[in-house]
Amino acid sequence: MNFPVRKTEAEWRELLASKGAEPRAFDITRHAHTERPYSGKYEQVWSDGSYHCICCGNKLFDANTKFDAGCGWPSFSHAIPGSITEITDRSHGMVRLETVCSQCGAHLGHVFEDGPTPTGLRYCMNSASLEHQPTKDTP
């Protein structure tokens, strides 16, 4: 797939390092690895704001759609329209829907149909793929 934002592996590594990304962020975002459950920095963060792609800054989720799915990864019930591309993933003997950033193709996680109403979806994300941006205080 072609995505609007493209870089070499070296450029992605340099970008992630400059942002102070988690050590496994490159393997997770560029090679579809998965962080261990309950190990990600955003798994238990409940602050206001939004979550963006660590690689390109694309806004993916509003924090008010985050919920505790008890699965060990940050989970969201609704993505920003057009922010995520879904790809059939047949790895590990399963059929799942992989989620990638629609701007740069970064692997984010998977989406499952066992989430809360009204969407019934659970976007199960790797913390290392995300960057939380808190809501700015308004005067």
Name the 3-class secondary structure at 23. Answer: coil
The DSSP output letter for 93 is G
Give the other-Cβ count within 10 Å of 126's Cβ: 28
**Distance between CA atoms of residues 95 and 83, nearest Å:** 22
Tell me the one-letter amino acid at 122.
R
Segment (H or E) for 100: strand 96-101
Active-site residue (options: 53, 55, 56, 124): 124
**Distance between CA atoms of residues 121 and 111, nearest Å:** 7
124 flagged as catalytic: yes
- CA neighbor of 85 nearest in space, from 58, 66, 114: 58
- Residues annotated as part of the active site: 124
